[in-house]
Amino acid sequence: MLTLDITPFRSGVHEATLDPDPDAVDLEPDTFRGIQVHMQLQCQRDRILATMTMTAQAHLTCDRTLRTFWGDVEGTYVVLFGPEHLVGEDDDAYDEVRPMHPTDTEVEITDIVHDTLKLSIPQRVVAPGAEDEDIPMQFGDFEDEATAPPEANDDIDPRWEKLKKLKNGDA
């Protein structure tokens, strides 16, 4: 569990940086490393607006070459910790507003860091230098169908014979 001690922060703007272990934010150590959470905290009497930037290295698999590599990921999240009346009636309705009681000495940010880092993994992962590599576009023993021996193309499933006639215009 990852928490931020808020007792040293008085009204004003403050900076804080945390370096949690992957286990502290429920991430797999073999998938994430070097996690850093940089926060800008705008504190007022009963609320804290936290702008968090999370960076880490993630173990990724390239979509072009299927090679694994460590790549940098980064995500930002803004959350308001404040009185209960700001949170709303349904706790899930406003994830960006979290309850903070006047007696709280820390705020819990485990799920924020976890979710932000998980969502910062790109949908399309390309390893450095993979864009310059040629991708084989043809597979099999033949360069193309024109150079294939005629008997290779004639081994057609008899169930497809009518479709072959349609294709050739023999129907």
- pLDDT value at residue 108: 94
- pLDDT value at residue 50: 97
- pLDDT value at residue 154: 58
- pLDDT value at residue 145: 57
Q: Where are the domains of the chain?
A: 3-128
- pLDDT value at residue 158: 76
* Integer Cα distance of 25 and 18 in angstroms: 12
- pLDDT value at residue 18: 96
- pLDDT value at residue 90: 61
Cross-sheet strand order for the sheet of 48-61: 12-18, 32-43, 48-61, 68-82, 97-99
* Integer Cα distance of 64 and 55 in angstroms: 24
- pLDDT value at residue 163: 80
Tens of each residue's pLDDT in the chain, 171 residues = 999 999 999 999 999 999 999 999 999 999 999 999 999 999 998 999 999 999 999 999 999 889 999 999 999 999 999 988 877 666 555 678 999 998 999 999 999 999 999 999 999 999 988 888 887 777 766 555 555 555 555 566 777 877 878 888 776
- pLDDT value at residue 134: 80
